[in-house]
Amino acid sequence: MGGDGGDVGERASGKRLSKEEGETASKKARRSGGLTIRKGQAMGGGDLANRGAEAAREPSGKSKRKVAAEEGDGQKKPRMRKTVEAASGGERPVGEECDEAAAFWLEYERNDGDEIVEKELPVQLLIDPRKVCDILPWERYYNHRSLNRETVDDIKDAMLSQFREKKWKIWTKNPLVLAPIYKPVTRRPEKADRAYKDVFKPEDKDKYYYYPVNGQHTVAAVKELEGEPIFDLWKMHSWPARVVWFSDRDFAGYRQVSLNENTRHKISKQRSQKAAFLDMRETWENEGRPVAIQGNPSGKEAKKRAFFKFQKLLLGKSPNEAHWTLAKKNLLLADKEYVAAVGNALRQWMPLVTAGDDVFRKAMEFYAKWAEGKLLGGDGKTPLSRSGKYIPDKSSGLQAIPEIGLKGAAGETKMGWPVRVPPPPTKKKMQADDKFFVVVKEPDMFCWQCLADMTDVEKLSILDDILALRGVFVQSAGGHLKCQHKPGIKDMVATRKVDRVMLRMFHYILFLETEEDERVWRYGSHFFRTKGRLLEEFGTQGLTKQVLVEMRKHFEGTVEYVNTCKCTLPHEKESLDDAKRLYDDDRFPKSFEKFVRSILRQTKEEVRDTIRASGDVRHIKWPDLNRVTSLIPFAFPPSQAHSHVTAIREVVRHYVCNLWVLDLCDPTLLTDW
């Protein structure tokens, strides 16, 4: 689950930590100037409030041994840090590790055997959180995630709740991890000037400002509580902190430390999909909107490394903890299994993260309406239309819902929103009207993966259908949805693919009919029309929206063939030969070609004199016989019916019935007889 390492909001969750994490409390001796010398190590900082109180009263067994050693009962041995736990950065040559002793130079050092050990007197500072600056969007990656408003509110609410309702509990101040800088950044594209570790003096800590490598949400919550009674009572102006420094070559170590801390602390609430998408989108913008390498990748090693680095950045912003573990691995691009694992982990995210601006805005609108319970679920109903349950102590906002229960994908926990609904008529007298809720689970992430092959125009049309309640954000439509003619994501994607190949083949047949020069078949040519332009241009020849819908039936049972058409015409990049191969394919339905040619060859007069089934059909129901008679007028005499067999069949093939052709002599309006 997504924590922020040192964030204190996790203290109110009620989850317990392991014994090892609970025994990290250490004896402390203070110097003047607010400097703390720790005789022990509190790396995790993840103990609960009551655990912290117990540790303060009585040292753990491990602490007793250290105290005894310091009093002369034995010789204290420095604790060694395995180098595999050291933070590693992407800026270094792949496979090398950053020096943790150099990064946390106030706490660690190397012994004669070149092993990382804890110093005899490791230093931890007390910093005013108001000296910690927000990391601005154009800054380098000091933290593996961006600041999230929901998480800040959760931490602040947890602090205030404990302050008001559980005054007997001690709130544990988990140490922040900070990078010292000289002054805050105020304008783009200015970046902070970091304080070099050999220049930074602990006694001058108040002269510097800091960037939060870990604990940024805690800092934001604390700063917003300034002026409240809790701020002075809990001495929020003084917070324990660890200082970290990496060189430019090892700069990715900051992000690695942030990942390590958040992986270690597993108590904070999981981040929402929407917040993760916004964070990833910001990274994509900052990195120059990179895209996967197209075509032959040989000779593009630098681009491959840059895109792979970008992918690992995104993994660290996912709410899935398994993705964080994957991002921490420092393997070569030559490791094909690892590269494939990174790509597969991002398949649910990339279709939206790298989409156009209009698509991304529409997706954020989708998440807003989804959280309000205004969109259709798998049962074909909106959550607001369902009867709610009485839940007396339910807070608002995204949270782990007990009713949802078990884990879904590896490292993820199902989350949801409690949405208030009107009470049912059968509510009891002791139940308040405003305590009835329905649970809206977060949407299925695999639905976004289904959109991987869609263009921005197609994605936008699918999201429009979902927001208009013409479709449902589920992978496959069940029986209830099929009865309501509400398609799922996979059905909508299949329909767009059919429309794509129809548009391609319509243009190729038009190309053959008009005998255009081959030079018009190129990217950006005015010869290619959108569906809207085709309807406008050939509408007088019988091409309507309803006709386009009917034309899809020509491609029933040709899924493999339809999938061979990868691009839509407005973004045509393939040659005329590729279109010809689609046309010459044995799976291409010739009935579609005949239909298109009949439209292209018709005149306005012919259209006026042919079938107008959509507007002129009349249905007569005979109640006694439980039968329906459909009157379909044709503007030609029965003696000529043999020459219009194809047109008649296109109309009546939708009916399971006996067919009679009535000769009414002169054409007669239905309204007259």
Q: Give 39-66 as a DSSP string.
A: ES---S----HHHHHHHHHS--HHHHHH
- pLDDT tens digits for range 244-278: 999 888 888 888 888 888 776 655 567 788 989 99
Other beta carbons less than 10 A from residue 619's beta carbon: 8
| Angle ∠(91,346,311) on CA atoms, nearest 5 | 15
**3-class state of residue 77 by DSSP:** coil
| Angle ∠(525,529,531) on CA atoms, nearest 5 | 155
Work out the angle between the directed axes of helices 489-514 and 456-467 (0-180°, nearest 10): 130
- What is the residue-averaged pLDDT of the chain? 76
What's the pLDDT band for 72 if we cut at 50, 70, 90?
very low
- pLDDT tens digits for range 482-523: 888 899 999 999 999 999 999 999 999 999 998 888 888 877
Confidence at residue 584, expressed as pLDDT on a 0 to 100 scale: 92
Instruction: State mean pLDDT over 172-184.
Output: 91
Report how far residue 242's alpha carbon sits from residue 55's, in angstroms, rounded to the nearest whole number.
Answer: 20
Which one-letter DSSP state was computed for residue 100? H
Which residue bears the tokens 């102006």?
Answer: 237
E strands, 20-170, are: 27-30, 36-39, 80-81, 108-110, 116-118, 123-127
**Do 565 and 582 meet the contact criterion of CB atoms below 8 Å apart?**
yes
- pLDDT tens digits for range 516-555: 888 888 777 888 888 889 999 998 888 888 888 888 999 9
- pLDDT tens digits for range 342-360: 999 999 999 999 999 999 9
Backbone phi and psi for residue 262, each to the nearest 5 degrees, phi listed first: -70, -30
CA 587 to chain centre: 38
Which one-letter DSSP state was computed for residue 661? -
Pick from 51, 202, 179, 46: which is nearest to 124 by CA? 202
Q: Which of 264-273, 417-426, 585-594 has the lowest mean pLDDT?
A: 264-273
Contacts of 614 (CB under 8 A, 6+ apart): 544, 546
Confidence at residue 456, expressed as pLDDT on a 0 to 100 scale: 92
Q: How many CA atoms does the CB half-sphere of 251 hold within 13 Å?
A: 8
Helix, strand, coil % in the chain, rounded to nearest 5: 45, 10, 45
**Do 11 and 158 meet the contact criterion of CB atoms below 8 Å apart?**
yes
What's the pLDDT band for 658 if we cut at 50, 70, 90?
low
- pLDDT tens digits for range 11-29: 333 333 443 343 333 333 3
Pick from 632, 528, 509: which is nearest to 573 by CA? 528
**Do 9 and 155 meet the contact criterion of CB atoms below 8 Å apart?**
yes
Report how far residue 357's alpha carbon sits from residue 278's, in angstroms, rounded to the nearest whole number.
Answer: 12
Confidence at residue 323, expressed as pLDDT on a 0 to 100 scale: 86
Q: Which of 60-64, 285-289, 396-400 has the lowest mean pLDDT?
A: 60-64
